[in-house]
Structure 1
Amino acid sequence: MSFVEYSDLIQDGDVAIVYLNHNSAMPVKVQAGSQTQTRYGVIRHSTDLIGQRYGSKVTCGKSGWVYVLHPTPELWTVSLPHRTQILYTTDIATITMMLELKPGSVVCESGTGSGSLSHALLRTIAPTGHLHTVEFHQQRAEKVAEEFKEHHVDHLVTVRNQDVCKDGFGVTGVADAVFLDIPSPWEAVGHAKTAMKKHGGRVCSFSPCIEQVQRTCEALADHGFEEISTLEVLLRVHDVRTVSLPLPDFGPDSPAQSEQEVAEKPPPPAAPNHASVTLKTTTPPREIPGHTGYLTFATKPRS
């Protein structure tokens, strides 16, 4: 099992995602002889998981069933243990696209936090890329390094426990892209430029407050970055429903017909009073999900 390579069968030692319903999932470390309690009953690892195919429907005792899925960055994002606030798939998808990441890219990230974005970056740059991620908090850095090893992606990532605003990323001239998710990203812009390759690259900063964005944009401009832009990604889900509308009566087929033609033409059969047409329509949400943060992007010019 690896977060960047798919496996067919569940094996002892894997991390599997137990999918309970559309908004609830939980990670499970598969171990022979162990069992996991869910709201639908107990899952026995030796008999219910090991040797089964990922995607299988597993019966939990006598109370219900769940699906056991192969881990992906998206599933990890909705099920990981939160040690910090995390980025979700809506922002993550925009970041990976706007940073122009691809297999083989080298990325610098700070801070690592709970590793939600990190897993998506690793899948995007695998199998030959590398992630240099910096986390200020020692316990969080140690925990995320342990998770990377458990998820079999540790060969693609280097975790450093240091202050990126003072000590930088620990690398020079190697990064194709840099991502900043720290309280004062403007203090790390110079280190981001140092970490990036001479031929250019992209940088992204995530900040919840517009005052942080303003100072970061000023720092980016002072360090010679170009194409500076800030955007906000909001998710708006439309509700699809089926409605029935009465059939309209438009009168004679051709208003320009003469009176004689109308008189000679037999009248159409009368439509029943309940005649209607069924169609699907969408309804916009009455409330839009709240603000998460601003994404500021910039390009390092080729030198």
Structure 2
Amino acid sequence: MAPTLQHTVSPFLEPGPRTKPNSLAVLQLSRDNFVPVYLQEASGEHDGYVEGAVINTRYGSFPHSTLLNVPWGSQVRASKVDTGSRGRKRKRQLDEEAGCETSEPIEDENEKGNSNGADKEHGDGDEAKQLVTDASGFIHVLPPTPEIWTTSLPHRTQVVYTPDASYILHRIRARPGSTLIEAGAGSGSFTHASARAVYNGSPVEGKRQGRVFSFEFHEERYHKMKKELSDHGLDGVVTLTHRDVYAGGFLVGGKSPEADAVFLDLPAPWEALPLLSRQRPQLKEGEVGEAGAKPWVSPLHPKKSVLLCTFSPCIEQVTRTVSALRHLGWVDIEMVEIANRKLHTARDRVGLYLPVDRGVNNSAKDVEEAITKLTEIEERFRENARPKQSADGTEPAKQESKAATNGKTPMNGAALKYPWLDGRLVTRGEPEIKTHTSYLVFAVLPMVWTEEDEAVAMAKYPLGRERFVVSVMGKASMKEERREAMQQKQGNRKSRRKDRDEKLAEVEG
């Protein structure tokens, strides 16, 4: 379990140019294999490794000291590590009855070396171990981003993947300084993406800070998510609350978040929509209101239009959600489905003498190669038609060239080419497409237009007293205005021509 870390600025928001100790980094093992790691400084033996903290992968071992203070995106080679006393414990057995010890050698508890001379190499432990590069492989060190975190996070629920998250944040206009409500934090994929979208720098007095108010009903997921946000340094941007929003609503500490964007990833979003209103929701049939109820506090921004998105996997959920939105006064309701498709770019390699690689078209790439292959086949046919033994009874010598090439004639000069530069560049779509993750329903709740707002608008944009409106101006006045404009334009042209002629006369004179 990673230790709880305190960050002034989250590495998801401002990672900096290089890796830092006590911070999160993501190790890329392959194209789609990412491992999140909290980098630690080497401070003596750790888990039996004298190099300190070490991460072991299928491509080798990587001490944290080789991953620290390197530029993001660096390629790091594996290192040969010394296991030290890992897995070996001090063994001492006393035969109390015989009053003697066993004959096994007893090692000192402070001893960190092993039989290969590690003690001489480390001395008293003050000198750092000189790491030796291993030929097993390499990895890349990447900064933590919401996109990479989505591919490597521990899945506790269904995850909002990057294609959906990016489109949702665009449609609900989440930008620096926005306030966003998220119901159903789950595994935290969308939480990290929305935190980066609303982040607008360090707190400044008088400046509205971007905030994400996230709600999670499941207690175990809430505690895990709370710890992840603390470890990632997002406490200043994300406020996580353990609550059933169907019954408890969206207020935080009894105060309104004043949200201008809402994202609901709930199994029944239509039950939470009445609480996302600027007016007290109407009581359902059979419910009785409490006497002396508190004044209604809306979680939405009072002076802005609010944009909403719901994330539902079933069309039946969409139907009930749209019906509730229409009943509650939401407008511009639209359902969208995202179908993500990846395009793979590769070289279209063609040739008869290429190795049997995946994706290679084993046919002649040109006429010369086809003729060479036919000549080889005819020569092989004539060779097989010859008698197996000569006249003196001895077997003819085998051709060394064919024995060396296993019956294949190498292409002249082709071995000098790099295989990844040979062939045309071809782009193909992936064969299997994920056609459905969930249905996205978008809607807008306009701001309440009061009489005060109408008076302010009328004072700023008066109606009925405009001077330059087509309906007010007559045709004669419009023609006169155009005539004056044309005369002024011609006068300006004549004056410019006169100035030019005067300058030319001065130069010639």
State the partner residue of 1:15. 24
State the partner residue of 2:441. 296
- Match among 33, 48, 57 for residue 66 of structure 2: 48
SS of the equivalent of 1:155 reads coil
The verdict on how the C-alpha distance between 1:15 and 1:273 changes in structure 2, with shifts beyond 3 A counting, is closer
State the partner residue of 1:162. 243
CA distance in 2, matches of 1:60, 1:40: 7
Contact 1:226–1:299 under 8 Å retained in 2: yes
Contact 1:2–1:153 under 8 Å retained in 2: no
Are 2:316 and 1:235 equivalent residues in the alignment?
no
- Match among 294, 297, 301 for residue 197 of structure 1: 301
CA distance in 1, matches of 2:186, 2:56: 28
Alignment of 1:63-142 (within 5 A): 63-127=136-200, 128-142=209-223
Gaps of 5+ in 1: 245-271
Q: Which TM-score applies when normalising by structure 2?
A: 0.51
Can you list the C-alpha shifts for 1:222-280, whole angstroms capped at 9, x where unaligned? Answer: 11000000000001234445669xxxxxxxxxxxxxxxxxxxxxxxxxxx978xxx965
SS of the equivalent of 2:191 reads helix
SS of the equivalent of 2:339 reads coil
CA distance in 2, matches of 1:18, 1:236: 25
Contact 1:36–1:44 under 8 Å retained in 2: yes
CA distance in 2, matches of 1:239, 1:41: 28
Contact 2:213–2:257 under 8 Å retained in 1: no
C-alpha deviation, 1:201, in angstroms: 1.1
The verdict on how the C-alpha distance between 1:283 and 1:201 changes in structure 2, with shifts beyond 3 A counting, is same
Q: What is the Cα-based RMSD across aligned positions, in Å?
A: 2.2
C-alpha deviation, 1:70, in angstroms: 0.9
The verdict on how the C-alpha distance between 1:167 and 1:59 changes in structure 2, with shifts beyond 3 A counting, is same
C-alpha deviation, 1:217, in angstroms: 0.5
Are 2:12 and 1:3 equivalent residues in the alignment?
yes
SS of the equivalent of 1:179 reads strand
Contact 1:178–1:196 under 8 Å retained in 2: no
Contact 2:156–2:187 under 8 Å retained in 1: yes
CA distance in 2, matches of 1:208, 1:73: 22
C-alpha deviation, 1:114, in angstroms: 0.8
Can you list the C-alpha shifts for 1:109-141, whole angstroms capped at 9, x where unaligned? Answer: 010011100111010100220000000011211
SS of the equivalent of 2:276 reads helix
Q: Which TM-score applies when normalising by structure 1?
A: 0.84
Contact 1:87–1:116 under 8 Å retained in 2: yes
C-alpha deviation, 1:221, in angstroms: 0.8
Instruction: Say which is worse superposed, 99-108 or 47-56, in terms of deviation.
Output: 47-56
Contact 1:133–1:169 under 8 Å retained in 2: no
CA distance in 2, matches of 1:35, 1:179: 40
SS of the equivalent of 1:76 reads helix
State the partner residue of 2:264. 180
Contact 1:225–1:299 under 8 Å retained in 2: yes
Higher Rg of the two aligned structures: 2
Gaps of 5+ in 2: 1-9, 42-51, 80-133, 201-208, 278-297, 350-365, 369-422, 449-509
C-alpha deviation, 1:54, in angstroms: 2.1
State the partner residue of 1:25. 34
C-alpha deviation, 1:53, in angstroms: 2.3
SS of the equivalent of 1:202 reads strand
CA distance in 1, matches of 2:152, 2:53: 20
Identity within the alignment, %: 39
The verdict on how the C-alpha distance between 1:42 and 1:4 changes in structure 2, with shifts beyond 3 A counting, is same
State the partner residue of 2:311. 206
C-alpha deviation, 1:69, in angstroms: 0.9
CA distance in 2, matches of 1:37, 1:55: 19
State the partner residue of 2:474. none
C-alpha deviation, 1:192, in angstroms: 2.5
Indicate the structure with greater strand content. 1
C-alpha deviation, 1:52, in angstroms: 2.2
Are 2:76 and 1:58 equivalent residues in the alignment?
yes
The verdict on how the C-alpha distance between 1:242 and 1:16 changes in structure 2, with shifts beyond 3 A counting, is closer
SS of the equivalent of 1:154 reads coil
CA distance in 2, matches of 1:204, 1:120: 15
CA distance in 2, matches of 1:208, 1:133: 20
